[in-house]
Structures are given as C-alpha cells and as structure tokens.
Structure 1
C-alpha cells in the first residue's frame, strides 16, 4: 500500500509527540517553553539556556554544578596579567565536536573555534556577525563588545584575550551561556553551502548531548555524545517535552510521561510532597520578579507617576495569591543572598491614597489609560503572569489607572520588549554568575537600553557611572560601597517595581538519580541516571 506524504508527516509527528513508554536509559524533561534559538549567543531566556547551553555546548570555563564557583572546562587553566587586562587560556586537547546527520568534523576543538565564537559577537565585519540579525543581547548588554580589545591565537591550544580595561566579573562572565564555543569548521562548511543561518538552528557543539530534531512548540530530542570529553552520559536520549501549563506538566509527571517537571505550580507543591513516587527539590532563588515601566514613554517618564504605581500595587497580596507564600517581597533588584544588597533605600508601601496624591501632582488627577503586558510563560519569579496581571489591573483601577492586559507568545513577547514597544511589562531575571553586576549592568545600564536587556529603558548618568566604576574595581569592599550608592539612586528613580524573590522548585520521579539544584536556575543533565525502584 502506498502511503501519502501527508499521512507520513502526521505519523512522524505522532511519534514525536505521543505519550509513549520510554526506555530506562531515556530522560524526559517537561520544559515550560520553546527556546528562541539553538545558539546560546542568541538567547536571553532561561528556557533557551536549558535547551542549549547545558546540553549541546561547553564554554572555556563552567560553573561547578550547584555552586557559583568557576572551574575549568574547554580551558584547562588561565593566567592573568599584572594589570588585569590580558587573559591567557590553555585549551583542552582531544575534545570532539558532534558528528550529526548534517556535519562530520575532521578535526578536534582548537583555538580557531574560540576565536570564531567570540569574534562572531565582537567584530561587526565578521562574516557571521549579521547572521540572524546581528543581535547578541547578553554579549552586548553586558558590555563585552566595548570591553574586549582582541582575541589572539598564540598556538592551536592557547588563546589570549586582551581587554580595554580591567573588569572584575570577567572570569565569571566567561562561564556564562553566551560564551559557548561553536565549531569554526562547521561555520566554514555552511558558508560554502550558502546556509549560514543553519548555525543557529541545526547546532553543533562539544557538549554531552547532540541535537537530533525539534518539532516547534512540542518536543526537542537529543542523543548522547558518545565521544564526550568527560565520558558518555548514562542517558542515551534526552527528550524535552514542551509543556507551557504547569498543571499539565504535573499530570504528565504523575503518569510517568516525564521524569522531571520544571516550575511546578505553588498550588501543587503539597500534593507533590505527598506522592511516594515523586520528589520535590527546593532552593532559594537567585531571582527577581518585577514590573518594568517604559521610562522613554509618557507618562512613565514622570517620576511621580512611577512612584504612584509603586504605591498602588499590593505586593504582599500577589505573594499570597500567586506564590502561595513561597516568595519574599522585594525591595532591591536582586535578593539578599547577593552581596551588596542594601536596605537603606526608598521603599514604596502599599498606599492607594498616596498613589492618588502623586498622580494628582503629576497632572493625572483623573488617571489615564495604559497597557500592561503579562508574562506568557510560567517562571519561578512569576508563576502565573495572567493572574498577577488581573490583580495589578484591579489595584491600578483603584487609583484611576485603566489597564488593558496584553500578551504574546514568548518569542514575540521578548522581541517586542527588546524594541521598547511596551508601556508596562512583567518580567524577571535569574542571576547568571552571583555578581551584582549581572543584575545592575545587564538590566539597567545605559548600554543595555539599545541592546535589549534594559526593559525599563532607564538611563541615569550618576547611576550608570557608579555601576561602571564598580565593574573596573577589584576591591570587593569598594565595589560594594559603589553598588549600594547605585541602589539608593535606583530606588529613588523606581524605573521598575521589584515584586518578589521566589523559591525555585523542581519535581522529579523518584527513579531519577544525580539531579542537582542550581542557584542559577538551570538544569544539569550530564550526571542524570534512571534507576529502578
């Protein structure tokens, strides 16, 4: 019998999406969303980091799983010059790139791959810089394009990176996902074929898993990298089951259709804890959920309006209703576990009367209309964007601000926010390296406005000067004093309203072994195993 092409397509899609009994050497991971790209250089979200940076790729340096400690990876060691502007990395030998259906490497990882991976983001004239639009939000948002003077090949296994000035967080930044190493040989092959864009959609790395296929918004499949330099993982196949709804993820976990479920709903926590076949892991999150006001747009360029909104929002009610008490009210843009946290700042208690008075002083005694964008995916810093939006809508209506709730799919949401199309938007951040710079410079510097990571589009010269000076200062006490002054300015200007620092949860079947909770809210898959119980 001859099968139609349409039937074959439907059959294959069913194989990718249907709940089947997976073999014990497989791990099914219920993810909350789809990655924006399969290249960590192009990714800003935690969703994308989990799907790429800890599966497909490695970096010169890594964070030790479960800690903020930097350890060697593709680099075995590094030396720093006396003036702290030159970093020389010794590279690991014998590292193999993935062999896939679309690429067969002819050589091992070497210095050419490091130079390609950094210069693609750094050099405006690089043949791959404009592929995919030329936006590298992390690299640019963190100022790496202004910091790195050059990347030089000393020999095949030695690379020297020269900086324009000293920068205290540089080594930690080198361990972050956007510094992942791509294959220069693969890039050259794609250029010859006229398919450069495939480098971001059909990925090749050195990591523990090889990309196999992706069915948009449904499933991602990976195979173990048999020649992985740390040794092959115990998992033969890693499957991401993309499941935006937290309650559906929980149901899949209970049925055995997934082994790990991210971000369980606070309402399901107690039930998970009672289930003998499941385990709940918990960690204080290195995160902040916030409401950003677009300070480039009226009326949010008016300080009194921003302060009025801050006083209008009942944050504790959101923590009770949305997080079910599994979070702490926020006053700083990062939690107290990050050094330089500062309590001697302006805070904005829930006070509708004061909010109405501030609006009157700003010339809005009759209020105004605006839009509030609600987070379309479940994140630990905001488990239910729509419900939180409805509560915020009610609070703002009490002081005369009429709010229309708006949302988009995750990729469109991020892209539109990057372009500054929003009025007020729900977003959040999970720290990447444990340094205050990763919050303050990345999210609120003048440089990061145009690069897309500054969602409030806040640019204040005194604040900007303090956080930039702190980046170049190696003395931690001096850095701390600079950051605390910056936090005082920030709280006075209130470009964003810090809402909550949330606990982070993962739900696992008790047959999963080797799982480690991570302060950066990422998931490590390399050490996982499935055991029989």
Structure 2
C-alpha cells in the first residue's frame, strides 16, 4: 500500500502553489479530496482510489457510458453469452497499446494474456505474481467472483472465455466496474523478474486515457494525456493534475481563483454562493448513495478480549432508535440530503417502499440496553471518516451529534479517526465498535448494495458490520442467479425486510451530489456512480 512513498521522478509540490497549470494550454487541475492508498484498482474499494487509478489510467472489458449506467464495449468490442448463462466469450479490441513510461516500454499490444493475468491473480492465491506481492482483492472476493469464475480460457490472442459456476445476472455490469481494470501481463512479468512486484501499485501501467507521471502523497498526482489512446477523441487534455486538498473550504477557494477547474464535495453551506457565481457551473443530481452507521456485530471486536455488546440485537435496536435523524439531516446535510430508512437508495430498482424506521424513542432504548445487561456509562468507540464523501459531507459533526444522542441513553461514546486509507483498512479488519461509512452504487444492480455491503462474502471487504446471516445470504444468492427482474425483486425485498429487522446498520441519509467546476470546462459529466472521469473533457483556455 502506498503510505509514505514518493515516486523518485515526481514534480515538486511547489508547482501547484501559484497555479501555473490554469494558464497553460490544455492543462486541467482537479482539486481532489484525499490521497489514494495506491494505484492498483483491484486492491481497493473507494472512490478516492478509483478516481486516481481506474478512471484515469485503465480500461475494462466492458465500461459504463460516461454520465450513465448503460454498459458499452471497452477493451472487448462484443461478447457472447451461452444459453445457460454460464459462459461469456469476450472478443477483444485490437490495436490497443499499453502506456510507455520511463519505467516500462511495451513490446506488444493488449491481448488475451493481459485478461488472464488480471483475473487469475485475483482468483488464484498461488499465482506467482500474487505470491511475490501478497495482497487481497476485497471487491472481487466480496462479490464472490473468485469462487464463481471457475475457468478462464484463452481461445486465441483476441478471444477470452469465462466459465461460471452459477448464473450471475449482473456479470457484464460487474466487469465494467473499476476493480476489474485490465493490467499488463508483460509489465507484471518484468516486475517479477526484477523482484519489484509491489511496484504495480506504485508505478501503474494501463491502457487508459492518461499516463502516470508522478505522485506526492497529500500533495499532487500528475498525469499526461495518452497520445496513443485507442479512443483519441477522448484525450483533450495534455496534463491532468490532482491537487490533493482535504479541506472543502480550501478546495472552493482554489476553484474560485482558477487554481483548479473541477472539484467535489462542497459544504452544504457553500452551495448557494457557488450556484450564484457566474464563473462556475454547478451540475447536480440525486445521489445514488447511502450514508450509514455500521455496527460491528462480532462476538469480540478485533484487538479486544471483552464480549462485544453490539453482538446483541437489542443493543443495536437501542442505538438505532436513539438516533435523531432529522436533526442530523438539518445540521450535517443542510438541505442537500434526504432521510434514509433502507439499506439502499430509493432510485435503485427493487427498493422496498414499505420499510419504515423504528420510532425515535430514547426511553425505550434505555430499557433495551438494560435488558441486554449494558450498564450506564459503558464506553463504545465511534469511528468518524477524516474526509468528505458523496454520502457524508461532515462525518466529524455527525459523530458529535451521535455522541450526544447516545449519551442520552447512558452510553459514553469516544470518537476515533484515522487517515482515510488507514481508516478503511482498520474498519475492514473489524477493529471498530461503530463506524460512519457509506456507499455510492457502482453498477446499478441491487446486488451491488445487498450483496456487496452486507453479505458473508463481503466480510473483509465492504461489509463493515462484519455481519453474516445464512438466512439473509440465501435470499441474495438466490436473487443473483435469477435473470427475471420481477423474481429478483421479490427476493431482494425479502432480503431488505430481513436486514432491517436485524439492524447491522442504521441508514442515515442519501445526499444530493453537487459538482462545482469552472465555466471553462466542457464535456464533464456527473457520474451516477460517484466517479470523476476526465476522458472527453476539455477546457477553454
């Protein structure tokens, strides 16, 4: 994982200080919100990581149209699906070149070997490259793809066949997701030979519209436009710079001064002024997201020998009914959020509109805690994200409000935070009592919520509650192998009802996504999946 590394050939952070990029021809600066943990998309699950890697430097076999949810050809020009739904044959695009950089010069074009390397590394723990660079692939395994893909065959240099154990109704959408970005087998072989396999995460090579140049943690990432890109009309920027700026007020000031031309996650209090600024654009859309509270339900929290009170359903019910959601919506989201009651957003097909919240009732919550044997003054930790996310504009404030809510039912809440990469790593490991987290949908399918976030397979991945319930898992697995949408909807609604009863999470809000950018920017489309995509984007200098 990239924690403190600085690539030797990076350009100094001082270059960003006086914003020369905004005046230079064909350059664009994006004020991003945090440092990526690394540049190997398969290892990660957050938008911060995907924006910096998958959406700039890589392609997938299938891709989502910019600004939409439709699947279109990517590195595969077409695909065939067998009548039983278990075999997918991808016909690969010819003439696609991998990036040429100071650290790698490809001798061949993209072919089937690259597809096999990309997915075999995620499936096979004995893969030579994975043994040389041990890592996990939480999204891939969290969706059960490591066990459902039984075989990958190279038919010829430009044809690859995937065989599945069970039908996966969302397989083509899943293959368009960031974690499925295609790596270079030739580059991997070079790294393996040099004994530098870990460099795949620090010095990336892809086929995408931008080529990696340098990275300085907490400062900047620099890319150059890929002059050999297979979709040349999509590369309209010579230099793309991520100016890593964690403070939302500083991001907005940089935008107003033209020190960056696109940013994200404005504070709700800033929205009115931003919308009135004639030098800016402010596209917005209903967020395909959910901000929620995740309760760690393990019998013992990692690192503790004490029994975990949150393993008791009554304790989770008490915490849930003691949350004053309307106050949080007013204070944290300030008009840019909608109260959430379900485990996914209402814009997701199969959403169950009959689900309701438990009534806000601190007195009943106290009684439930007493019945569960939780003494007054019991201390619990509440982890708060250090960065803004699309689903939570101010985790620190939300944590403070929850601290006050739960103090009213006799609990002593200690707020904890870590650097973003460390926060994600530790919560996936189950070291928290309760964490603030959230999700923006990645592919438009209900499984991307109900399976990816709450299934047994997703523990160690995106299941921050560490919740594994066989009855629930049976429902979502049945829904995944059915192709009829009506049948899937029935099963997913049953799963939503069951999850609501078991309270592994408390849904808090769905936020509206606002994307501030300079009026000079053309072609930028707000992604329903919360990604920042710069292919096809230009700037009027």
TM range (shorter): over 0.9
Partner residue in 1 for 2:361 = 351
Contact 1:285 1:519 in 2 (8 A): yes
Report if aligned partners of 2:43, 2:135 keep a CA contact under 8 Å in 1: no
Residues 1:455 and 2:464 aligned together: yes
Equivalent in the alignment of 1:411: 421
Correspondence for 1:396: 406
Q: How far did 1:133 drift?
A: 3.2
Question: RMSD in angstroms over aligned alpha carbons?
Answer: 1.4
SS at match of 2:309: coil
- Rounded to whole Å, the distance in 2 between the matches of 1:31 and 1:147 is 36
Give the Å deviation of 1:17.
3.7
Return the match for 2:345 from 307, 318, 335. 335
In 2 relative to 1, CA 512–481 (structure 1 residues): closer, same or farther, beyond 3 Å?
Answer: same
Deviation at 1:76, TM superposition (A): 0.4
The question of 1:527 aligning with 2:536 is answered: yes
Q: How many Å apart are 1:12 and its aligned residue?
A: 5.4
Secondary structure at 2:91 match in 1: strand
User: Does structure 1 residue 34 correspond to structure 2 residue 61?
Assistant: no
**Cross-structure match for 1:129:** 130
Q: Output the CA distance in 1 between the equivalents of 2:147 and 2:378.
A: 40
Q: How does 1:71-470 map to 2 (within 5 A)?
A: 71-231=72-232, 233-296=235-298, 297=300, 298-345=308-355, 347-364=357-374, 366-449=376-459, 451-470=460-479
Residues 1:531 and 1:10: Cα distance change in structure 2 (over 3 Å) = closer
**1:452: Cα distance to partner?**
2.5
Q: 1:21 is matched with which residue?
A: 20
Aligned-partner Cα distance in 2 for 1:11–1:518: 30
Q: Secondary structure at the match of 1:473?
A: coil
Q: CA deviation at 1:418?
A: 1.1
Counterpart in the other structure of 1:61:
62
State whether residues 314 and 350 of structure 1, in contact with CA within 8 Å, keep that contact through their aligned partners in structure 2: yes
| 1:66-88 Cα distance to aligned partner (Å, 9 max, x none) | 11110001000000111110000
Give the Cα–Cα distance (whole angstroms) in 1 for the partners of residues 292 and 76 of structure 2. 36
Can you list the C-alpha shifts for 1:366-390, whole angstroms capped at 9, x where unaligned?
Answer: 2521110011110121111111111
Q: For 2:10 and 2:79, locate their aligned partners in 1 and report how far apart those are by CA, in whole Å.
A: 51
2:389 is paired with a residue whose SS is: coil
Q: After superposition, what is the alpha-carbon deviation per residue over 1:404-460, rounded to whole angstroms, capped at 9, x for unaligned?
A: 1000000110111111100000000110001110011111111111x3321001111
TM-score, scaled to structure 1: 0.96
Structure 1 SS opposite 2:281: strand
Which range moved further: 347-356 or 327-336? 347-356
Structure 1 residue aligned with 2:526: 517
Residue pair 2:10, 2:215 contacting (<8 A) in 1 also: no
2:46 corresponds to: 45
Give the Cα–Cα distance (whole angstroms) in 2 for the partners of residues 66 and 10 of structure 1: 34
Deviation string, structure 1 residues 350-400 (Cα, Å, up to 9, x no partner): 221221121122222525211100111101211111111111101110110
SS in 2 for 1:468: helix
Q: Answer yes or no: is the 8 Å Cα contact 1:417–1:452 preserved in 2.
A: no
Q: 1:14: how far off?
A: 4.2
- Counterpart Cα distance in 2 of 1:58 and 1:339: 27
- Check the 8 A contact 2:80/2:90 in 1, yes or no: yes
Structure 2 runs not aligned, ≥5 long: 1-7, 301-307
Partner of 1:3: none
CA distance in 1 between counterparts of 2:520 and 2:74 reads 29
On the 8 A contact 1:16/1:215 being kept in 2, the answer is no
8 A contact 2:10–2:213 mirrored in 1: no
What is the DSSP-based 3-state SS (H/G/I as helix, E as strand, rest coil) of the residue aligned with 1:55? helix
- Separation (CA, whole Å) in 2 of partners of 1:453 and 1:30: 26
Deviations 1:82-128 (A, max 9, x none): 11100000000000110001010111000000000111101121112
- SS of equivalent to 1:442: coil
Specify the alignment match of 2:5 in structure 1: none
Counterpart Cα distance in 1 of 2:490 and 2:94: 43
Q: SS at 1:54's partner residue?
A: helix
Contact 1:16–1:219 under 8 Å retained in 2:
no
The whole-number CA distance in structure 2 between the counterparts of 1:279 and 1:318 is 28
